[in-house]
Structure 1
Amino acid sequence: MTADSAPERPLLLLVASGWQLFREYLLSSISTEYRVHMFHSTEPSWEQQYLDGWTVLPSTLDGPAMAEAALRLSGEQQVSGVLCWDESRILATSYVAQALGLPNGDPEVVWRLRDKAQTRAALDAAGVPQPRSFPVKTLDQALAAAERVGYPAVLKPRGLGASLGVVRVENAEELRERFAFTRDTPAPEPVVYASDHPVLVEECVVGDEVSVDSVVQDGKVTPLFVGRKVVGYPPYAEEVGHHVDAADPLLLDPDFQQALQDTHTALGFRDGWTHSEFMLTAAGPRLIEVNGRLGGDLIPFLGLLATGIDPGRAAAAAACGLTPNLQPTRQLVGGVRFFYVDEPDSVVESVGFDQARLPAGIVKAVAMATPGKSYSPPPEGTVWGRIALAVALSTEVADCTAALDAAEQALQVEARTS
């Protein structure tokens, strides 16, 4: 390297990539400031244009094995940071960061976030406000736990995300009917617990449901985007949309900021990116869960549109122990809405949007369904039942919602029941 040449960009190790529709914007942005080497279980496809290199491994769920591969890589070139935004792989990734001596390299802490029963126990010990919660294995245990938390109660899988398997029950009869739904909701990847109590029975707290994506450095939490969640298909908790307002008052609310900080302190999470979910009750915020990764459902993308803060670059900087640029450059409102078929087991022949009917506020309208494939609405369909999405950008929440309403009217679906 000559004295006049630019310094080499830091090398970031990325574990897996995720669904292109939901994660390409992150990888594209990161690759402009970092060299990216990816660990994957298959040969990269769309990702290759953004990569400096890649390693195909038998599994990206085996943390110790990935750590050995990372040490071999680090023997060839210096790795500055390790990043993963796949919930199923964040624990395995922490073993890699630990082996390389990089931020977010404590598997015990990351497992405390992955395992919601451990999350509850740590917060309870620290006195952080949250719903009462009991891990259970059997229906009889669930009935007993519900008597302790009171009805209505919430059944929740111990280690899933995206509200998969979450259902509200009003009484013991409904609990008996729906316990198997929660217990048997499949995980995208296997989750193994030291004790076999896969279901949480929790107190039902009510209010506005929000998420917050934050950067954490040396234990200090900086909230960046607040997502206001839109939930549908009761009594199930399907996330059918979100909106992010750059001027959301929670970003400046001292009580909310203190709850967020206390939560991370209690969990021992000191470096990286988190996606936390709260219920804003009449008695104050109640922590629902914390995920050690960027938010899903395009929430960070909405944050990028609304604030100008780049979540990919910020997460990469935090993973490398660098100071991220968290300065907003605009103040807008972004929203996303997901669409579903009306009837279970509907074979989608075609799906798309009438472009002439889409308002100017729609910045993305995408068909997600594969023609000829069967889809169902929640609860059977859940995240994989979505057939299309639309993203809107405006200066006001109401205008953003109106644009998404118009996109829904412009959606054209041909389907038949199988």
Structure 2
Amino acid sequence: MNAPPTGVVVDAYTTGNLLPAAFAAHGARLVHVQTRRAVSTALPGPDLARFAGNLVYAGEPTLDELRALAPAFVVAGQDSGVALADLISERLGLPTNGTALSTARWDKHAMGERLRARGLRCARQFRSADPADLVRWRKESGPGDLPVVVKPLGSAGTDRVYVCRTDAEIEAAAAAVLGGPDVYGRPAGEVLVQSFLEGTEYIVDSVSRDGEHYFCGVWRYHKRLVGGRPVYDRDTLLAPDEEPVPALLRYVGEVLDALGVRHGSAHAEVIATPDGPALVEVGARMNGNMHPGLHRLCLGHDQAALTALAYLRPEEFRARWAGRAYRRLRPAAVCNTATGRSGVVVGVDPGAVARVEALESVHAVAVKLAPGDRMRPTTDLLSSPLRVFLTHDDPAVLDADVRAVRALAERVYVLAGDGPGGAS
């Protein structure tokens, strides 16, 4: 009897934890590899109980341990694992995106420069460890070149992403980026400043095998600025023939080819500018908002299951999915709630959660904080306290339920110092 196939996941933060179940459906087991000994607490970390083992990468000895396991594939669970997943898969002779363009798949500056070299539309940009250099670049770009976007080179979840309208704001934002590690615990080193892209922002998710791409879904972002920082509000699933989806798919296909994404999942964020699609960034990993149950209902598949199929049954993946785009079976939305409250969570009100769950279109509710956690005012995706997944045949019901979720969300958490009735 043949042993079940073994695979490797590097840094299974957030939705990387969905991969063990997806691969287990095909009889495969997964071993986890950490890029760093210290696991970041800024994101939901690896659930090691889901994996057959865990290794902390230490160079050649770890590669020897992995060779002994004879893995069939290596997958990045988050952006922080992309470079190491590329290296391990290349060194072990497995299906790989390779190391030659690896930096361009996680470093946002290298990513933009690679696209520019290939003639693909993207933001103008500059990187430096000196905030004054960023202001100097802005001035040399022209006095009208405001606002600009300041962000870390390789973080996630809108971590310290600022839309800056003055040079003083640029310097303050750069100092904030340089003042601490990114969400994976890595020092900033340098800061990225980019020209502001006017237009609506979209998500384009994909899974690839041998350079053939399947587009899993396109979602329209609804964001608002809070103190100059973009805060996620709602993602809305678009139909594949809805504008500007066809142009987005063509453009992202060219982006994936330019960045050497030949295997595995990708999550692209794109602005539909007046001149056409332009990349914000792309991660060679799954969508962090992906919920398998919701995606199966509204799309007939989910990105984790398709990733497993692409690695374990490539012929089936190519025959059924490669070179195609998704179908929308029913409308869907993901709502990330915002709060202005601050304090220590002392309880979660089950009645308030139940009222959210009882809304007609609600499929699942992710309560992100627990007693003892600190709630802070929402300034990015990481500080959104509640995520709600919704789907319904009638878009009007979806819209009404999103409004109801926002109205109920503040009642979910009880903070130290709240009165008997909790948040009002």
Amino acid at match of 2:108: K
Provide the rounded CA distance (Å) in 2 between the counterparts of 1:368 and 1:385. 9
**Per-residue deviation at 1:177?**
3.0
Provide the rounded CA distance (Å) in 2 between the counterparts of 1:46 and 1:123. 35
Q: How does 1:253-402 map to 2 (within 5 A)?
A: 253=246, 255-298=247-290, 302-320=294-312, 322-323=314-315, 324=317, 325-326=320-321, 331-343=329-341, 345-352=342-349, 353-356=352-355, 358-379=358-379, 382-402=380-400
Segments of 5+ residues of structure 1 without an aligned counterpart are 2-6
Partner SS state of residue 287, structure 1:
strand
Over residues 9-63 of structure 1, what are the superposed CA-to-partner deviations in whole Å (9 max), with x where a residue is unaligned?
54333334334xx455443233111311222459x99664x55x32x32x25x56
2:231 aligned residue: 238
1:153 aligned residue: 148
Amino acid at match of 2:151: K
Segments of 5+ residues of structure 2 without an aligned counterpart are 38-44, 419-424
2:69 aligned residue: 73
CA 1:258–1:26: 2 relative to 1, 3 Å: same
Amino acid at match of 1:400: L
Q: How many residues align?
A: 395
Provide the rounded CA distance (Å) in 2 between the counterparts of 1:367 and 1:119. 34
2:421 aligned residue: none
TM-score by length of 1: 0.84
Mean Cα displacement is larger for which, 348-357 or 228-237? 348-357
On the 8 A contact 1:273/1:294 being kept in 2, the answer is yes
Provide the rounded CA distance (Å) in 2 between the counterparts of 1:251 and 1:306. 20
Provide the rounded CA distance (Å) in 2 between the counterparts of 1:24 and 1:189. 16
Over residues 68-109 of structure 1, what are the superposed CA-to-partner deviations in whole Å (9 max), with x where a residue is unaligned?
3211211xxxx3222222221121122221122122251232
Provide the rounded CA distance (Å) in 1 between the counterparts of 2:10 and 2:244. 30
Q: How does 1:63-102 map to 2 (within 5 A)?
A: 64-74=60-70, 79-102=71-94
Q: Which runs of 4+ in 1 moved over 6 A?
A: none
Q: Could you tell me the percent identity over the aligned residues?
A: 20
**Per-residue deviation at 1:384?**
3.7
Provide the rounded CA distance (Å) in 2 between the counterparts of 1:104 and 1:398. 44
CA 1:67–1:320: 2 relative to 1, 3 Å: farther
Over residues 281-307 of structure 1, what are the superposed CA-to-partner deviations in whole Å (9 max), with x where a residue is unaligned?
111111111111111123666533311
On the 8 A contact 1:11/1:34 being kept in 2, the answer is no
Partner SS state of residue 210, structure 1:
strand
Provide the rounded CA distance (Å) in 1 between the counterparts of 2:211 and 2:400. 40
Match among 174, 178, 193 for residue 183 of structure 1: 178
CA 1:302–1:338: 2 relative to 1, 3 Å: same
On the 8 A contact 2:337/2:385 being kept in 1, the answer is yes
Q: Say whether residues 1:170 and 2:168 are aligned partners.
A: no
On the 8 A contact 1:346/1:416 being kept in 2, the answer is yes
On the 8 A contact 2:157/2:382 being kept in 1, the answer is no
Over residues 157-196 of structure 1, what are the superposed CA-to-partner deviations in whole Å (9 max), with x where a residue is unaligned?
1111222111111121322332212333531324479xx5
TM-score by length of 2: 0.83
**Per-residue deviation at 1:272?**
2.1
**Per-residue deviation at 1:250?**
5.5
Provide the rounded CA distance (Å) in 1 between the counterparts of 2:173 and 2:78. 28
Partner SS state of residue 237, structure 1:
strand
Provide the rounded CA distance (Å) in 2 between the counterparts of 1:329 and 1:127. 30
Mean Cα displacement is larger for which, 312-321 or 361-370? 312-321
